[in-house]
Amino acid sequence: MNKPLLAGLALVAMLGAGHAAAQSTQPVQTTRPAQAAQTAPAAPARSIDQADVFLSVCQQPENHDACVMYLAGYTNGALVQTLIDKQPPRYCVPSNLPRKEQLSAIVTWMKGHLQYVLEPTGAVIYKALIGTFPCR
């Protein structure tokens, strides 16, 4: 495998591990109950499943390959679901548009629609795809 692909896979694994760790972390118990009451819980790890994190992460050049893989997985999954449901496509990405340019278009749309960044990434990507690549 080439280095950018390995780096992208490592980033995806790291983000997934951070999300899993945040979901399973329990507060540490101390021997003094009064001290435990004063200790604030640790902030949960930020997850790429949140659109604001996706936008932030995917604007960094070193993360582009991982974000392209995320977008490819999303769009392929949405396509399969459309076929299973026997529904017309909701968006039409030009077949000759490289994935990196698709990602750039999605990031640009997200930056212009910041009111959605606190929603789940999948929902925002879906809105971005419909808004950026409408079927004609």
pLDDT at 10: 44
Q: Tell me how crowded residue 7 is: count the other CB atoms within 10 A of its CB.
A: 14
pLDDT tens-digit readout, 64-119: 999 999 999 999 999 899 999 999 988 999 999 999 999 999 999 999 999 999 99
**Cα 35 off chain centre by:** 37
What is the DSSP secondary-structure string of 40-105? PPPPPPP-TTBHHHHHHHHTSGGGHHHHHHHHHHHHHHHHHHHHHHT---S----TTS-HHHHHHH
* 117 DSSP 8-state letter: T
User: b/e string for 84-122 if b means 16 or more Cβ within 10 A?
Assistant: eeeeeeebebeeeeebeebbbbbbebbeeeeebbeeebe
Asked if residues 10 and 69 have their Cβ atoms less than 8 Å apart, the reply is no
Reported as a single tens digit per residue, the pLDDT across 12-70 is: 444 444 444 433 444 444 445 555 456 666 666 678 899 999 999 999 999 999 999 99
- Cα(81)–Cα(75) distance, integer angstroms: 10
Residues in a beta bridge with 120 = 50
Res 131 pLDDT > 70: yes
According to the model, what pLDDT value does residue 30 have? 46
Which residues form the domain of 48?
3-132
Q: How many domains does the chain have?
A: 1
Q: Which position has the higher pLDDT, 121 or 20?
A: 121
Q: In whole angstroms, what is the distance from residue 74 CA to residue 124 CA?
A: 11
